[in-house]
Chain A
């Protein structure tokens, strides 16, 4: 942090403001290591104060919660190879708050007039982790009057194809009060970092309000700042509970936890932008279920329970079974539905269980109807026959409602690059023709009739955004409980 000055107003006033003498190098111990303050230059024209946080990497890992066996932290909670010792993260913000606490409050006992003064400041943060990149860095600092220089740091110059890291080399310049500058950093460093770890304090709301006083309320990105600042804690606890086993499997595979644990969308994805489509899809499904007269309904791939919630509102559905393979999704569904607090009679209508469409499961048979809403496109094509058998051959619901995106419609999504699928986990997206071919094959193989319905606006050229197939168990159709499986018995007396 550099400031300039003149003979009357020497730059070394910075020392008074920071309560750190320019001729001394000082060190302070903080919860994650040692913070050092020193001055590379200190003259009347220019004075630079440097804060260096020496993080203890081994202690950092040991501090991680949720210790795994073997006396070490668990992978999901503490990355043992970690950029924390090198970047300006929430750890640095915490150190900033501790080392410069008076300056942060705008207090200076020796020279009480100094803190109120606006002065030229240049702040360099050589490695600032910034989710959102230089663009977001600018959006956060520019409204506060800073001139922002933000250079992305390449991941590895030996492998240019890897692109940039999430770190930005930041230079801020502006005329401001030092206390404001420090508060900006105190709040915005962790907001940009948006890291998952090392955040435990319970009074974060108060801290945010205090540090944001005078600038946050007018900031155009106020919502994003508050969200990120406060959301981290909630996410931390959720992750601590749910992701460990999967994270370990990802670890074993040399891949990132997110690669496996992606059943629940954290934020907005490229999934259908206008929420109304999800609503219209649910309405179409509910209408089909009501027509069928179903009372006992399976929601296969229930995700976070949106459809289950809708089904609960209609008492004709007396038994609603939500099934998903993702424990995380089920946990989320349970939380949303508030099952524990639901009146007993209502709660008795719902069950949420882990299940899989690539295994047969006798618990799923005997239902009036099954819904597979936006599910099949998450199954690898080679595994589709297994899922088909599990649903139509083994569970054999009276009615089955299957929805899936219509790939033809993708050209109508302005934000979706050509040739891309709507969700990163979609293993395929079908045209109407492809869906029809599959669904008619299923119906024929398993003794169902099938009809197709559009969901959402039915575009004359490319069809509707979502396609729905309504399967009904054919009353007189061959029962294919054992399709191709051994000769259907000739009459009892005569077999073999």
Chain B
């Protein structure tokens, strides 16, 4: 077996034959991702050659780099710095997976060695193209160039001597392809032919059925193929020799077909037949690799099930003497990993980090076959495997085998399909792109495992923290509803502090609520906010129906309610016995005492039981967006310091001040205006104290605490963010109705047709009624929840419309006086509205990622970004 991307033997055959140049063009094969090193003396025409055959950006020239660092392309004293720059640029290009051509003389071994090393560092193939042009031609060309006219005469002959010495050693130096063009004509006749790497099967889009480690379990393999819908074809002796799918699906084997199990030759025959017929692809496992070496006559130890395979092959050879040779050939033809389906899928035996996808080097092959090891050894003296999947952040799904686990589970977009069939587990396949798992149980334990199968997916372990690099610093989060959302560094830093020091476990924190913008500023006398603006805004955005929801004045709360601790453990990975979480909009727990949280969850759970929501929503967990009341429960500190302090000071100062003014007035001092103003101020201050006092009440344990859910955000496998609000509220009414403890509170609502004047007036009246009775106000939302405007962009998911008295708490006791309102109306909503939309998109993204079962870091990335955006500067009164 070999990675065949390069021809096994370097194609050092002179591309041009000796003698007169042929008239026809000659194709030079170059892998489409490689480092092409041009070799030739000065004046040999390298730059012209590069220009002719490659795009300008693909070529990095030493002359150009000399110019960059020294303002002179011929300043030889700048060569050292110039090559640093050249290597740096080349490295960046190779890391990004771009073919790169180095245009420098490269006649010295040391210069080439550095380039070969660079290619290897980035796991691409180094290719040499030598331009062997007569000295005379080179000298003439240089003489014609004014900047090179005074080049010392000995330079070209010296370079030619170095070049001639080099020619023989290029392959030894590590160039996997060497093309030598002798003479001007051959150079002129050459043509570059890019060849696809053997691992690059992006053009194959499947659908695929990827099969885990078979290890000689032929019967189980046939059963699995049957379950997958393949028709097995048999030879005269009844042996399976091929299998094909009526819908043209392709099977992909992750390797380790052989060893340990009862019929390795049978498995090989079937898989080889499928591969030959184009019904299957196969990558090699470490067991194939070892078998291949045995078949090539190498001395390998017959351990770990190889002895069984050799014995079985021995019997096979009696009937079919050619069989071992065909197996050897098959193994020799296998490519260590494949990139499939437009780059969305990578299949290999032992897993592969993203930087190795589509790359070609010994290191890549070794990782694909054996995985990564830490260099440490465990208590049995065996190498410790590095949990590469834990670090994996790639976009492509990596499907692999190698490490037997009881159950195939996704981790960071990777999945190990080795479910230990030969050890009595099962044989598992993954349907792609459906991402469905299909398995068949082992008929029996064919081989005793050296140790019990581990309970975790490789690399996955509960309690493992997420990686800082996934959240820290300036970041851009891709969202499906609003494109790229940027997070600035200082905001991420603040979010990191809060997330690390105060927030709950990220596994229980799949969502943070977005901020909400107020409606446009009202010009109506006495009002800063008025529902007319909200209705008008939605009408002009083309939203015909909106729902007005009563705004409960409390603290925003998100509740994750699992049906039981087992669900919390299975879906959210927490094993401390918790059944969910109840947290604030910055992810902090509402109650310091976990028992209180659990009591709240238990009451919601009981209500969900009573309302039959589990069955109706086909779920065993609910994620609720809600308001927790009273306000004083969580914000007591703020209330005391900021609000009550104002009321107290005003209450203390006005009686004396008014008495003093009245006394002065009675003496005839002209203080009437001042006195009147102070009386108004005193009344305003009293109204202010009245306003905040409405939302405060003492609670005793959970007595007096209310939770008013207004949206079910997500349930198992689904985001419910696009469910119309009337349906949402109907569920939640039933939930509140089924609660016998007084915890859950219903949310009042009214549907308004924004195009109907009477309906709009009814909406306004409803708001006036609510707010005059002391309510905070209402939120106006498009009935259909997730709505796009005529421009295709998200419409505000809701705007708040706060009552006149409530706004005293926000804008201060005296805000409602016309002279103050006049100034306060100059508020700017643009940033707040943009922030609300960006946070909304991130919240939707978190829910979608949660629904899709994406890795935790992907969900957390969006959640973290919401928190970071919350620390952006915006008028906090909005």
| B873 pairs with A127, CB closer than 8 A | no
Say if the beta carbon of A260 comes within 8 Å of chain B.
Answer: yes
Residues of B within 8 A of A139 (CB): none
Query: Which residues of B sit under 8 angstroms from A489, Cβ to Cβ?
Result: 370-371, 373, 382-385, 403
Q: Which segment, of A78-86, A278-286, A305-313, faces chain B? A: A78-86
Binds B, one of A343-351, A432-440, A476-484: A476-484
Alpha-carbon distance A81/B456, docked complex (angstroms): 54
Nearest Cβ on chain A to B251's Cβ, whole angstroms: 19
**Interface assignment of A326: CB less than 8 Å from any CB of chain B:** yes
Q: Name B480-516 residues within 8 Å CB distance of A.
A: 490-491, 493-502, 504-505, 515
**Chain A residues, Cβ within 8 Å of B453:** 487
Q: Shortest beta-carbon distance, B637 to chain A, in Å?
A: 5
Contact between chains at A72 and B667 (CB < 8 Å): no
Known: A162-B640, A167-B648, A386-B463. A81 touches B809 (CB 8 A): yes
List, in ascending order, chain B residues with CB within 8 A of A57's CB.
Answer: 812-814, 820
Q: Are B876 and A38 in contact (CB under 8 A)?
A: no
Instruction: Mark contacts of B468-488 with chain A using CB atoms, 8 A cut-off: 1 yes-contact digit, 0 otherwise.
Output: 111110000000000000000
Mark interface residues in B374-416 (1 if CB within 8 Å of A CB, else 0). 1011111011111100100000000001111100000000000
User: Cβ of A50: which chain B residues have Cβ within 8 Å of it?
Assistant: 657, 660-661, 664
A244-282 interface (Cβ within 8 A of B): 244-246, 248-249, 251-256, 259-260, 263
The docked-state distance in angstroms from the alpha carbon of A170 to that of B350 is: 78
Contacting residues of chain A (156-213) with chain B, CB-CB under 8 angstroms: 156, 158-159, 161-163, 165-167, 169
Q: How far is the CA of A81 from the CA of B304 in the complex (A)?
A: 75
Query: Please, how many angstroms separate the alpha-carbon atoms of A154 and B647 in the complex?
Result: 10
Please give, as numbers and ranges, the residues of chain A lying within 8 Å of B493 by CB-CB distance.
Answer: 245, 327, 354
Q: Does A28 contact B (CB under 8 A)?
A: no
Q: Please report the C-alpha to C-alpha distance between residue A400 and residue B374 in the assembled complex, in whole angstroms.
A: 21
Known: A71-B827, A386-B465. A359 touches B875 (CB 8 A): no
Which residues of B from 648 to 694 have beta carbons under 8 Å from A?
648-657, 659-664, 667-671, 674, 677-678, 681, 685, 689, 693
**Residue of A at shortest CB range from B422?**
A496
The one of A355, A394, A485 in contact with B456, judged by C-beta atoms closer than 8 angstroms, is A485
Q: Which of A25, A378, A484 contacts B674 (CB 8 A)?
A: A25
Segment touching A, from B758-766, B798-806, B864-872 = B864-872
* A299 CB–B CB distance under 8 Å: no
Question: Assuming the A-B contacts A81-B812, A255-B638, are A52 and B649 also in contact, with contact meaning beta carbons closer than 8 angstroms in the complex?
Answer: no
Given contacts A69-B874, A359-B471, A493-B304, contact A485 B649 (CB under 8 A): no
Given A79-B642, A248-B870, A259-B637, A69 contacting B875 (CB threshold 8 A): yes
Interface contact B812-A486, CB-CB below 8 Å: no
A255, B497: Cβ atoms closer than 8 Å: no
- Known contacts A25-B669, A325-B501: A252-B585 contact under CB 8 Å: yes
Q: Are B501 and A378 within 8 A (Cβ)?
A: yes
Q: How far is the CA of A386 from the CA of B501 in the complex (A)?
A: 12
Q: Is the CB of A359 within 8 A of B468?
A: yes
From A4-12, A40-48, A410-418, A461-469, the one touching the partner chain is A40-48
Whether the pair B637, A255 counts as a contact (CB closer than 8 A) is yes
Please pick, from B456, B664, B873, the residue contacting A486 in the complex, using a CB distance under 8 A: B456
Asked if A63 lies at the interface with its beta carbon under 8 angstroms from chain B, I say no
Are the CB atoms of B667 and A39 closer together than 8 Å? yes
Q: Answer whether residue A36 sits at the interface, using C-beta atoms and an 8 A cutoff.
A: yes
Cβ-defined contact, A80 with B810, below 8 A: yes
Q: Chain A residues with Cβ under 8 A from B496's Cβ?
A: 325, 354, 356
A314 in contact (CB, < 8 A):
no
Asked whether B154 is an interface residue with its Cβ less than 8 Å from the other chain, the reply is: no
A287 on the B face (CB < 8 A) = no
B643 lies within 8 A of chain A by Cβ: yes
- Asked if B24 CB lies within 8 Å of chain A CBs, one says no
Residue of A nearest to B648 (CB): A165
A155 within 8 A of partner (CB): yes
Name which residue of chain A comes closest to B489, CB basis: A354
Is the CB of A389 closer than 8 A to any CB of chain B?
yes
Chain A residue, CB-CB nearest to B643: A81
Asked whether any CB of chain B lies closer than 8 Å to the CB of A383, the reply is yes
Q: Taking the complex as formed, is A488 at the interface, i.e. its CB lies under 8 A from any CB of chain B?
A: yes
A54 with B649: CB separation less than 8 A: no
Bound-state CA distance A167–B386 (Å) is: 62
Does B457 lie at the interface of the complex (its beta carbon under 8 Å from any beta carbon of A)? yes
Determine whether B145 belongs to the interface, using a CB cutoff of 8 Å to chain A: no
Count: A-B pairs, CB below 8 Å: 384
Whether A478 contacts B664 by the Cβ 8 Å rule is: no
Instruction: Please tell me if A129 contacts chain B, counting CB pairs below 8 Å.
Output: yes
Considering the chains assembled together, what is the distance between the CA atoms of A356 and B473 in angstroms? 13
B451: shortest Cβ distance to chain A, in Å? Answer: 6
Q: With the chains together, A48 CA to B659 CA distance in Å?
A: 12
User: Is there contact, CB below 8 Å, between A327 and B810?
Assistant: no
Interface pair B380/A82, CB less than 8 Å apart? no
Taking CB atoms, residues of chain B closer than 8 Å to A52 are 657, 660-661, 674, 678
A110 within 8 A of B: no
Contacts of B870 in A (CB 8 A): 248-249, 252
Q: Which residues of A contact B55 (CB under 8 A)?
A: none
Among B781-832, those with CB < 8 Å from A are 809-815, 820, 823-824, 826-832
Give residues of chain A (115-151) contacting chain B, Cβ–Cβ below 8 Å: 124, 126-127, 129
A295 close to B (CB within 8 Å) = no
Question: B459 near A482 (CB under 8 angstroms)?
Answer: yes
Chain B, Cβ-Cβ closest to A486? B458
Contact assessment for B674 and A36 in the assembled complex, using a CB-CB cutoff below 8 Å: yes
Give the complex CA separation of A251 and B498 in angstroms.
Answer: 13
Q: Can you list, as one digit per residue, whether each of B630-646 has a CB less than 8 Å from chain A (1) or not (0)?
A: 01101111111111111
**CB-defined contacts of B636 to chain A, threshold 8 Å:** 162
A126 to chain B: which residues have CB within 8 Å?
Answer: 652-653, 655-657
Q: How far is the CA of A326 from the CA of B612 in the complex (A)?
A: 46
Instruction: Determine the residue in chain B with the shortest Cβ distance to A50.
Output: B660
Cβ contact of A70, chosen from B213, B631, B649, B831, cutoff 8 A: B831
CB-defined contacts of A490 to chain B, threshold 8 Å? 304, 382, 450-451
Residues of B432-467 at the interface with A, using a CB-CB cut-off of 8 Å, are 450-451, 453-461, 463-467
Closest to A259 in B: B637
Contact pattern, B 835-869, Cβ under 8 Å of A = 1, otherwise 0: 00000000000000000000000000000000100
Residues A81 and B286 in contact, CB atoms below 8 Å apart:
no
Chain A residue contacts of B371, Cβ below 8 A: 489, 495
CB distance from B707 to the nearest CB of A (A): 16
Contacts A57-B814, A495-B286 known; A155 to B645 CB distance under 8 Å?
yes
Which of chain B's residues have a CB closer than 8 A to the CB of A74?
873, 876
Q: Are B385 and A487 in contact (CB under 8 A)?
A: yes
CA of A50 to CA of B667 in the docked complex: distance in angstroms?
14
Pair B871/A249 contact, Cβ less than 8 Å: yes
Which of B139-165 touch A at CB < 8 Å?
none
- Give the 10 A-B CB pairs with smallest separation, nearest first: A479-B376, A486-B458, A245-B494, A72-B875, A40-B663, A494-B304, A70-B875, A488-B378, A245-B871, A68-B873
Q: List 26 A-B contacts (CB under 8 A).
A: A25-B669, A25-B671, A25-B674, A40-B663, A52-B661, A57-B814, A71-B828, A80-B876, A81-B642, A81-B809, A82-B812, A83-B650, A126-B652, A127-B650, A129-B649, A155-B640, A156-B644, A167-B652, A245-B491, A254-B635, A260-B498, A263-B501, A382-B504, A484-B455, A486-B385, A496-B402
A binding-site residues for B, Cβ under 8 Å: 23-25, 27, 36, 38-42, 48, 50, 52, 54, 57-58, 61-62, 68-75, 79-83, 85-87, 124, 126-127, 129, 153-156, 158-159, 161-163, 165-167, 169, 244-246, 248-249, 251-256, 259-260, 263, 325-327, 354-362, 378, 382-383, 385-387, 389-390, 393-394, 478-496
- Which residues of B line the A interface, CB within 8 A? 213, 256, 285-287, 290, 300-301, 303-304, 350, 370-371, 373-374, 376-380, 382-387, 390, 401-405, 418, 450-451, 453-461, 463-472, 490-491, 493-502, 504-505, 515, 555, 576, 584-586, 588, 631-632, 634-657, 659-664, 667-671, 674, 677-678, 681, 685, 689, 693, 696, 698, 809-815, 820, 823-824, 826-832, 867, 870-878
